A and B are shown apart, each in its own frame.
Chain A
Amino acid sequence: MKDMLWELMNPLVMGILLGGLYATIALGLSLTFGVAREINLAHGDLVVLGSYFVFWMTSRFGWDPLLCLSFGVPLAFFLGYALQRYLLNYSMRLSEDTVLVVTFGIAVILQNLMQIKWGPLSRNLTQDYLLRTLDLGALYIPLNYLLDFVAAVLVMVALHAFLKKTFTGKAIRASAQDVTAARLMGIDVQGMYSITFGISCALCMIAGTFLGMTFPFTPFTGPTLLIIAFGIVVLGGMGSIAGTLIGGMAFGVVQTLSGYFLGLTAQMLVAFAMVLVVLSLMPRGLFGR
């Protein structure tokens, strides 16, 4: 019995670390959903776009992926801000369905743009130094998993600090809780939505970078990411950063454990099934409002 538990330690720890990556992927979605009640069907594709952007930069300029972030994050923020301000705010005013159709259209466009530019075969951003494994006795931890988790925690701490400490962060939280009251406080709520979506896209860029460093990706990886991200957001509660991390870890652990017991193919299936279960059991999430 003790041996079995010992053996499970490795997939368990890997699952927790993987959860960090998942949480980063889901974070942007959690933010926009929590603040603007907006579902972005192109979310997964935006993450993959981030991966491809960094891929493009590393193959063109030879930079390390993490360095590319210094360019990518502000770029993503501005693109996201513009997208929300000039397209999505208007779509939201029309109807909820409009947003779904429009973001679906964006998803289709992104997927095919990426396919045209980079082809349907998978790519990755793995660097040699990432392929090392930490050997801690019973545990073999791939370095990139650890890096993913550390990055996830850093990003979440930064986001939390932003939301809690700055005026804009407070304004965003206020807009999420009561739109009319926020407007009465002098907050331009639509502007807040734009900023939030900008942050969300910046998070997608970060998530895409770490995703690419850990797993191969194709132009069509997006929908899978969206589905898992949504499952995490619902499980952890919209707009709750800690909840997203916990949700991510839950998914990570379930995946690695089912991979351990049932094999690689079952992993994805179990993840998908888990999303359906989560969606049907708790549309309101454990931590959120």
Chain B
Amino acid sequence: MNSVGLKGLGAFFLLLGSIPLLLQNELLYVYVFLYLIYASAGTMWNLLAGYSGLLSLCPSAFIGIGGYTLIVGTWMGIPWPFGLALGGALAGLFAALISVPVFRLRGAYFTIGTFVVPEILKFVFLSWRPVGTTVYGRGAGYPIQGVEHIPAWVLHLLAVAVAFFCVTLVRRLTDSRFGYALHAIKDQEGAAERCGIDVFKVKFLAFLLSASLTGVAGALFYLNQRYIEPMSAFGMQWLVAIMLSVIIGGRGTIEGPLLGAGVYVLLYFLLAQYGELSLILQGLMLIGLALGAPHGIMGIIRSVLYKDRVVLDPKV
């Protein structure tokens, strides 16, 4: 059920896109850029975790692949716009490869299976240097190569474009037959299969799309950051950030990741002063939300607005 129309979304992104350009504020660019990355990655994670009932713990794998494709690409002379697209493509390809073992798994098995993936990649990139010599950290820590400073507004507009694309795509998908299939799979996978839904194909497609676009978001992030290293690229921080963004806002809704990412970015900068304590607090927040407000802000809004009419999905 989507309460936000295409016009509303368009207006929102138009606003989000233009205000930083008008104000030309450095800090605002940083906030909004980060927000857009989390909103994109969050929306794609939501497609799996919110709409399909697939609690995937591997978005960081796709972020990392996207990022590494871009950065290593610059070392290999691949121009960064192409690197962005390639990052998404490789992330999607990787997802296609691992979907074979991973989709045979149900429920908690699937979750652990997806947990393995970023750990494997982290390990690979800690031990393997695809190009050049180490500059940062252990293993494959690289700065961007041969790319001059890209003006903030360019990165900003790219981020807006990616986020807008993600959100409209997911909105379109969930409101279609595909979306109903996802919902059916989330509810009762066995029954969905017996109704003639090709469960593997549907899950596969959702996973592929989620992975590719998450990869693009990751590539864009690392284009901005201008260096990458394995511990943070494939680390838990991404997973925590994405999960919180979606859960705060509300799983299974379009507005959820958009709201949640906003809250998260604010929280992130608020907590940054506490250093390592920040992640501990984020962890506590995750627990608190899961127990106290599993449906996030949207859940609270909906139960207030619709009172007796809406039954919140207990499976969230």
Task: Decide if A and B touch, CB cutoff 8 A.
Answer: yes
- A residues contacting B by CB (< 8 A) are 39, 41, 87, 90-91, 94-98, 100-102, 104-109, 111-113, 115-116, 223-224, 226-227, 230, 234, 265, 268-269, 272-273, 275-277, 279-280, 283
Chain A: CB-nearest residue to B106: A283
Chain B residues near A273 (CB-CB < 8 A): 120
B30 within 8 A of A: no
B14 within 8 A of A: no
Docked pose: A137 CA to B287 CA in angstroms? 54
A24 → B minimal CB distance (Å): 20
Sample (30) of A-B pairs whose CB atoms are under 8 Å apart:
A39-B108, A41-B115, A94-B291, A95-B314, A95-B316, A96-B108, A98-B294, A100-B55, A100-B111, A101-B247, A101-B290, A105-B284, A105-B286, A108-B280, A108-B283, A109-B283, A112-B280, A116-B277, A223-B115, A227-B116, A227-B119, A268-B123, A272-B119, A276-B98, A276-B101, A276-B113, A279-B104, A279-B105, A280-B100, A280-B105
Inter-chain contact A280/B287, CB cutoff 8 Å: no
Given A269-B120, A275-B116, A279-B105; A106-B291 close (CB under 8 Å) = no
Chain B residues near A276 (CB-CB < 8 A): 98, 101-102, 113, 116
B248 → A minimal CB distance (Å): 12
Chain A residues near B127 (CB-CB < 8 A): 265
B contact face: mostly helix, strand, loop, or mixed: helix
B315 within 8 A of A: yes
B202 within 8 A of A: no
Inter-chain contact A280/B104, CB cutoff 8 Å: yes
Chain A: CB-nearest residue to B237: A108
Partner of A105, one of B101, B108, B276, B287: B287
Given A113-B280, A265-B127; A102-B290 close (CB under 8 Å) = yes
A96 → B minimal CB distance (Å): 6
Q: How many residues on the B side are at the interface (Cβ–Cβ under 8 A)?
A: 42
B158 within 8 A of A: no
Inter-chain contact B280/A98, CB cutoff 8 Å: no
Chain B residues near A116 (CB-CB < 8 A): 276-277, 280
A217 → B minimal CB distance (Å): 15
Chain A residues near B107 (CB-CB < 8 A): 96
Docked pose: A227 CA to B119 CA in angstroms? 9
Chain B residues near A96 (CB-CB < 8 A): 107-108
Inter-chain contact A111/B236, CB cutoff 8 Å: yes
Chain B: CB-nearest residue to A233: B112
- 7 tightest CB-CB pairs across the interface, nearest first? A280-B101, A108-B283, A105-B286, A109-B283, A105-B287, A101-B290, A39-B108
Chain B residues near A230 (CB-CB < 8 A): 112
6 additional contacts (CB under 8 A) given A97-B315, A116-B277: A91-B291, A106-B283, A108-B282, A108-B283, A108-B286, A112-B280
B195 → A minimal CB distance (Å): 23
Inter-chain contact A283/B283, CB cutoff 8 Å: no
Docked pose: A279 CA to B247 CA in angstroms? 28
Inter-chain contact A283/B105, CB cutoff 8 Å: yes
Docked pose: A111 CA to B106 CA in angstroms? 27
Residue of A87, A95, A265, A276 with most partner-chain B CB within 10 A? A276
Inter-chain contact B315/A112, CB cutoff 8 Å: no
A280 → B minimal CB distance (Å): 4
Chain A: CB-nearest residue to B281: A109
A213 → B minimal CB distance (Å): 23
Docked pose: A224 CA to B236 CA in angstroms? 13
B11 within 8 A of A: no
Docked pose: A41 CA to B57 CA in angstroms? 11
B242 within 8 A of A: no
- B residues contacting A by CB (< 8 A) are 55, 57, 98, 100-102, 104-109, 111-113, 115-116, 119-120, 123-124, 127, 236, 240, 243, 247, 276-277, 279-280, 282-287, 290-291, 294, 314-316
Chain B residues near A283 (CB-CB < 8 A): 104-106, 109
Inter-chain contact B276/A279, CB cutoff 8 Å: no
Chain A: CB-nearest residue to B127: A265
Docked pose: A275 CA to B113 CA in angstroms? 8
Given A105-B290, A109-B280; A269-B119 close (CB under 8 Å) = no
Partner of A91, one of B104, B236, B290: B290
Chain A residues near B285 (CB-CB < 8 A): 105
Inter-chain contact A227/B291, CB cutoff 8 Å: no
A267 → B minimal CB distance (Å): 10
Chain B: CB-nearest residue to A275: B116
A117 → B minimal CB distance (Å): 10
Partner of B112, one of A91, A108, A265, A279: A279
Chain A: CB-nearest residue to B57: A104
Chain A residues near B247 (CB-CB < 8 A): 101
Inter-chain contact A108/B279, CB cutoff 8 Å: yes
Docked pose: A87 CA to B287 CA in angstroms? 10
Given A101-B286, A108-B279; A279-B315 close (CB under 8 Å) = no
Docked pose: A91 CA to B286 CA in angstroms? 13
Inter-chain contact A98/B291, CB cutoff 8 Å: yes
Inter-chain contact A226/B115, CB cutoff 8 Å: yes
Partner of B276, one of A94, A97, A112, A268: A112
Chain B: CB-nearest residue to A279: B113
Docked pose: A96 CA to B106 CA in angstroms? 12
Inter-chain contact B283/A105, CB cutoff 8 Å: yes
Chain A: CB-nearest residue to B103: A280
Chain B residues near A269 (CB-CB < 8 A): 120, 123-124
